[in-house]
């Protein structure tokens, strides 16, 4: 079965019954020993914790700048806290449009500025640092799509967000790294979200005969224009201790996970690149890809291929659910809307069989 997310191995599930995991030791995969680290259920909550800490220190809500190409559901916690958002435009290279950022800052400079490494590929953080220094803002480096620190990734922000739950077979897990110890946040408190639904689904996916299970393409958006269902963020900020145990086991395999993702993306690209009308957004051999992202020559091609590959049982996706502030101002956010309409994301996670995936993608219509 071709799943959209990786399936846990038996050893990862067995970790549920083992002794508790040490969050600080686990965070060492993503942070330096001198940095403060805090675990959350998801990094969307870590982002909210940064804004809360900033408000406590400065006595007012921070102006948070977010790239206009960003998933709206992840902003639920900061919206709930009333944080004013500015959606700054990015270019076709997915880097901030610095000229436009400088122009926007003339009316109200950011207090907190998010820069994103999209789909596992590095964005230039040095220019972001310089912009933040000039504007007096703190830099939040968003590594939610990245497996682990790499060249130019994860060592440049005042805060760094990681979402291991997106790349590893775990139900929850967002890590906040506070690199400047004068600027930190408070740990999550309160009950953690449950694991039951995730566990049940994964065990059924592992054990159920393929023909009995509904294909992964049955859930999620059925046409390219529909937004992905990230779900409204009903979860709570704390990370369940059981999720931490699974995560600790899963993190043992980071080098193997990185190699599998790269190999699968490379093999898939070889098949997809036989067609005209699209090319990869980045070289999957050069990064650890979250998804293999194909840039289509037109929205029509993207919509047609979305339907074609979904019919073949490949849970191909659009990204992201753009914020209403972005969707309703198409002239200002032309590039973000264009990216949303032309990028197609293919799963390349570590528990996919590259051979099955490539045969399905390269084979005849079903």
Q: Which stretch binds ligand PLP (CB under 6 A): 39-47, 52-60, 130-138, 308-316?
A: 39-47
Cα→Cα distances 215→70, 200, 268, 289, 319, Å: 28, 16, 20, 23, 20
| Residues numbered 55-84 forming contacts with ligand PLP, rule: CB under 6 A | 71, 74
For 251-277, the DSSP string reads HTTHHHHHHHHHHHHHHHHHHHTTSSS
- Asked if residue 271 binds ligand PLP (CB under 6 A), the reply is no
Q: Minimum distance between the CB of residue 271 and ligand PLP, rounded to whole angstroms?
A: 26
The answer to whether residues 349 and 1 touch, using CB atoms and an 8 Å cutoff, is no
Smallest distance from the beta carbon of 350 to ligand PLP, in angstroms? 18
d(CA 29, CA 280): 29
Q: According to CB under 6 A, which residues from 290 to 349 bind ligand PLP?
A: none
Among 3, 37, 43, 123, binds ligand PLP (CB under 6 A): 43
Residue 44: CB minimum distance to ligand PLP, A: 3
Q: Are 83 and 51 in contact (CB under 8 A)?
A: yes
Q: Considering only residues 150 through 169, tell me which ones interact with ligand PLP, judged by CB under 6 A.
A: 163
Stretch (H or E) spanning 99: helix 98-105
For the chain, how far is it from start to end, CA to CA, in angstroms? 16
- Rounded Cα distance between 287 and 113, Å, is 24
- Cβ-based nearer residue to ligand PLP, 76 or 184: 76
Out of 142, 158, 184, 317, which residue is the one contacting ligand PLP (CB under 6 A)? 142
Question: Of 15, 128, 144, 167, which one interacts with ligand PLP (CB under 6 A)?
Answer: 144
Count residues near ligand PLP (CB under 6 A).
12
Shortest distance (Å) from residue 43 CB to ligand PLP: 4
CB atoms within 10 A of CB 182: 7
Q: Give the residue with the Cβ less far from ligand PLP, 64 or 361.
A: 64
Q: Work out how close the CB of 248 gets to ligand PLP at its nearest, in angstroms, rounded to a whole number.
A: 18
**In terms of CB distance, is 296 or 345 closer to ligand PLP?**
345
Contacts of 337 (CB under 8 A, 6+ apart): 322, 326, 327, 330
- By residue count, the chain amounts to 366
| Contact call for residue 111 and ligand PLP (CB under 6 A) | no
CA–CA separation, 183 and 344 (whole Å):
37
For ligand PLP, the closer of residues 230 and 263 by Cβ is: 230
Q: Which stretch binds ligand PLP (CB under 6 A): 142-150, 236-244, 259-267, 323-331?
A: 142-150
Contact of 327 with 71, CB cutoff 8 Å: no
Q: How many CB atoms within 10 Å of residue 68? A: 26
Contact between 264 and ligand PLP (CB under 6 A)?
no
Residues in 189-228 at the binding interface with ligand PLP, rule: CB under 6 A: none
Q: Which residues bind ligand PLP (CB under 6 A)?
A: 42-44, 71, 74, 116, 142, 144-145, 163, 174, 230
């Amino acid at each position: 079965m071709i799943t959209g997310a990786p399936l846990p191995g038996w050893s990862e599930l067995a970790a549920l019954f083992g002794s508790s995991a040490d969050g600080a030791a686990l965070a060492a995969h993503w942070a330096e020993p001198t940095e403060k680290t805090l675990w959350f259920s998801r990094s969307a909550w870590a982002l909210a914790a940064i804004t809360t800490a900033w408000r406590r220190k400065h006595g007012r809500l921070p102006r948070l700048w977010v790239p206009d190409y960003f998933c709206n559901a992840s902003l639920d916690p900061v919206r709930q806290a009333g944080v004013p958002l500015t959606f700054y435009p990015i270019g076709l290279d997915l880097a901030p449009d610095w000229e436009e950022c400088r122009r926007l800052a003339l009316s109200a400079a950011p207090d907190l500025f998010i820069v994103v490494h999209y789909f596992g590929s590095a964005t230039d953080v040095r220019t972001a640092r310089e912009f933040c220094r000039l504007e007096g803002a703190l830099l939040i480096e968003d590594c939610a799509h990245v497996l682990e620190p790499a060249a130019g990734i994860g060592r440049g922000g005042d805060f760094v967000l990681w979402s291991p739950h997106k790349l590893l077979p775990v139900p929850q897990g967002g890590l906040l790294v506070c690199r400047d110890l004068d600027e930190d946040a408070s740990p999550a408190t309160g009950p953690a979200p449950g694991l039951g639904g995730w566990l049940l689904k994964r065990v059924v996916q592992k054990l159920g005969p393929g023909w009995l299970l509904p294909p992964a393409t049955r859930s999620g958006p059925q046409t390219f224009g529909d937004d992905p269902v990230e779900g409204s963020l009903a979860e709570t900020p704390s990370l369940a201790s059981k999720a931490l145990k699974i995560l600790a086991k899963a993190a043992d395999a980071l080098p193997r996970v990185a190699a599998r993702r790269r190999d699968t993306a490379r093999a898939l690209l070889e098949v997809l690149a036989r067609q005209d009308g699209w090319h990869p957004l980045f070289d999957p051999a050069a990064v650890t890809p979250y998804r293999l992202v194909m840039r289509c020559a037109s929205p029509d091609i993207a919509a047609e291929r979305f339907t074609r590959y979904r019919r073949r049982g490949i849970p191909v996706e659009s990204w992201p659910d753009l914020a209403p502030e972005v969707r309703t101002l198409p002239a200002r956010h032309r590039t973000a809307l264009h990216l949303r309409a032309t990028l197609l994301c293919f799963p390349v996670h570590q528990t996919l069989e590259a051979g099955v995936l490539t045969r399905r993608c390269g084979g005849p219509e079903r």
